[in-house]
Amino acid sequence: MRRVLIGIAGGSGSGKTLVARTIVRELGSDRVVVIDQDSYYKNLEDIPLRDREGRNFDHPDAFDTDLLRRHIRDLLDGLPIEQPIYDYAEHRRLAETRTVGEHDVIVLEGILLFADPELRDLMDIKLFVDADPDVRFIRRLRRDIVERGRSVDSVIRQYEESVRPMHLQFVEPMKRYADVIIPEGGHNKVAIDLVKTKIRDLLRERGAARATAPRVSVV
């Protein structure tokens, strides 16, 4: 059975993670795994820390998309991967990795997922999580200070210099690729229920296809 790939895109702070966690909670963590595009930021450990902080992390070129594609294809084929672990404070990959095994549903979430045509083609369902700009900024400010050790000034500067302009140039136009646009993110219960129903339908169809597939005997 080919696994189901759900792509969840949207601006920084839009609520993508809450949507992904809601799907995991409703379907069961033994069946669903979440892969963050952020884990696939390019490793900048060979660059001085001061220069790393000045990089544009909201442009498609900031990601190691080749590795992400390869890992997603492996997961869809039922193969394990070693997912990178990214250190946001120092803008580098850690030496250790996260082992991800076989799951029925892969939820891939990130701000720029739909920018890559090959990744889009692999997705069974493409979701775009939408939220007002002020809501997204407040959420990002709170997250980056609490979880990523950033200062208020650095968060505001990054938002003005790269987050907002890259959102307008790359993220917002990607709505046209979405199968479903979800306002209010994980708080939109109606949209989440519709997505869950579609995922279950896909799993049933593929499970039935596997069950009825002809067996080949080797004599």
Is 10 labeled as ligand-binding? yes
Q: How confident is the model at residue 46 (pLDDT cuts 50, 70, 90)?
A: confident
Give me 107's structure tokens. 């939820």
Q: Check whether 126 is labelled as a binding-site residue.
A: no
Residue 203 counted as domain residue: no
Any binding-site annotation on 212?
no
Count of the separate structural domains present in the chain: 1
Who has greater pLDDT, 2 or 213? 2
CATH number assigned to the domain comprising residue 164:
3.40.50.300
Average the pLDDT over 86-93 and give the result.
87
211 assigned to some structural domain: no
Residue 184 lies in a domain: yes
State the residue range of the domain holding 21.
4-198
* Residue 110 confidence (pLDDT): 95
pLDDT tens per residue, range 111-153: 999 999 999 999 999 999 998 889 889 988 998 888 888 889 9
Percent of the chain residues topping a pLDDT of 90: 51
**Long-range contacts of the stretch 193-201 (C-beta < 8 A, 24+):** 195/6, 195/23, 195/125, 195/127, 196/23, 196/26, 196/27, 198/125, 199/4, 199/6, 199/23, 199/27, 199/105, 199/125, 200/27
Nearest of 120, 152, 137 to residue 13 by alpha carbon: 137
67 occurs within a structural domain: yes
pLDDT bracket for residue 1 (50, 70, 90)? low
Was 185 annotated as part of a binding site? no
* 12 annotated as ligand-binding: yes
